[in-house]
């Protein structure tokens, strides 16, 4: 058995393909959840507060809000997939055990979960973009420039979620993870208001979150922002997400083989 967690082969992609084929059997319900929540936020906050707030940073509030909702929506998809989804495959349906009986190594199974979480998030993000376009909240194809940043941001949160899964004893454990990490990241990411409005300590903390940079990139792509900023922040996200994925694979390997 290979012991080095960095020894990830192309078999990883076959596991990702397996997850995709399973998801294609239940995609309508998955889309309903992933799109429904951001759409409710858009309707309630975007159109509800639009006349009260007016414009932000020179843009209509709906146009300001929608790209942020795409980013935090993608984050949520990655987090749920690699907590509840991965824990189910690990402990409930024992899919990891079945896959581990093949030439696929435990670290490859875990790495595939992180990749699948990021890929699924990007699929959902594109669907959200199309839905928001119908409502006039996104009106340019340049928003697609944000997909690489969304992928790497989702890879980071998928990896972080797998690390949480590696120590979870039951589903109740994830209440701590979502309350302490995911929910604050959701609200302090700059999706609903500029991060500059926060007190200095919270502003610095928000800038340390990958989701904040993903929101910035998605908004800049949708509102024709600086291409330099888009590229730079995408590279930053890649720089933090790839090591996180290997750390998650290392942690999950220990959980799978024990």
In this prediction the pTM is: 0.91
Within 10 Å of residue 17's Cβ, how many Cβ atoms?
12
What are the pLDDT digits (tens) for 102-135?
Answer: 888 888 999 999 999 999 999 999 999 998 998 8
Percentage above 70 pLDDT, the chain = 96
pLDDT at 1 over 70: no
> Distance of CA 110 to CAs 47, 166, 198, 242, 252, Å?
41, 10, 36, 13, 6
Residue range 137-177, pLDDT digits in tens: 888 899 999 999 999 999 999 999 999 999 999 999 999 99
Mean pLDDT of the chain: 89
pLDDT above 60 for 3: no
User: What's the pLDDT score for residue 56?
Assistant: 79
Delimit the domains of the chain by residue range: 26-257
| 3 state SS of 58 | coil
């Amino acid at each position: 058995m290979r012991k080095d967690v960095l020894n990830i082969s192309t078999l990883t992609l076959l596991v990702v393909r397996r997850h995709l084929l399973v998801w294609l059997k239940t995609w309508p319900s998955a889309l309903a959840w992933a799109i429904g929540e951001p759409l409710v936020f858009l309707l309630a906050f975007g159109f509800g507060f639009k006349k009260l707030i007016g414009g932000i940073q020179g843009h209509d509030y709906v146009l300001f809000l929608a790209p942020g909702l795409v980013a935090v929506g993608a984050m949520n998809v990655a987090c749920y997939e690699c907590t509840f989804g991965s824990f189910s495959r690990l402990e409930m349906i024992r899919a990891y055990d079945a896959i581990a009986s093949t030439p696929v190594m435990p670290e490859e199974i875990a790495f595939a979960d992180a990749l699948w979480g990021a890929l699924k998030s990007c699929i959902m993000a594109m669907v959200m973009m199309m839905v928001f376009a119908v409502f006039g909240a996104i009106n340019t194809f340049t928003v697609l420039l944000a997909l690489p940043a969304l992928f790497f941001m989702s890879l980071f949160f998928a990896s972080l979620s797998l690390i949480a899964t590696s120590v979870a004893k039951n589903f109740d454990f994830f209440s701590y993870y979502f309350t302490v990490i995911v929910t604050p990241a959701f609200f302090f990411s700059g999706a609903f208001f500029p991060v500059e409005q926060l007190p200095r300590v919270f502003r610095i903390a928000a800038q340390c979150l990958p989701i904040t940079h993903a929101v910035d990139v998605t908004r800049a792509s949708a509102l024709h922002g600086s291409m330099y900023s888009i590229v730079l922040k995408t590279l930053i996200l890649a720089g933090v997400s790839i090591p996180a994925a290997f750390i998650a694979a290392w942690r999950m390997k220990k959980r799978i083989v024990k």
